[in-house]
Amino acid sequence: MAELAERWEDNVPGAWYTDKNCILCSLCVDLAPANFKESDDGDHDVVFKQPANDEELAQCKEAMEQCPVEAIGNNGA
């Protein structure tokens, strides 16, 4: 499970985030392209937009469930 204390600083503010366990596999980008992208540093993926509707929320949940290193978190904020 992702650790809030290890959250990448370049995630947008909000409940959803990636943490420093991310290995840049980009599965989250494939599953939820409206919300995840590669970081500007090119070494991890980040949440660039918090989910704004049920479809995006479902895609983010799917990405979190499928993440091979459990680097996607939702702190419920």
Mean pLDDT per 10-residue run, the chain (77 residues)? 96 98 97 98 97 98 98 90
- pLDDT computed for residue 76 by the predictor: 84
Q: In angstroms, rounded to a whole number, what is the distance separating the alpha carbons of residues 64 and 40?
A: 21
- pLDDT computed for residue 77 by the predictor: 59
Q: For the domain that residue 59 is a member of, what is the CATH number?
A: 3.30.70.20
- How many structural domains is the chain composed of? 1
Q: Domain range holding 38?
A: 4-74
- pLDDT computed for residue 1 by the predictor: 86
- pLDDT computed for residue 16 by the predictor: 98
pTM of the model: 0.95
Q: In angstroms, rounded to a whole number, what is the distance separating the alpha carbons of residues 58 and 7?
A: 21
Q: In angstroms, rounded to a whole number, what is the distance separating the alpha carbons of residues 30 and 3?
A: 22
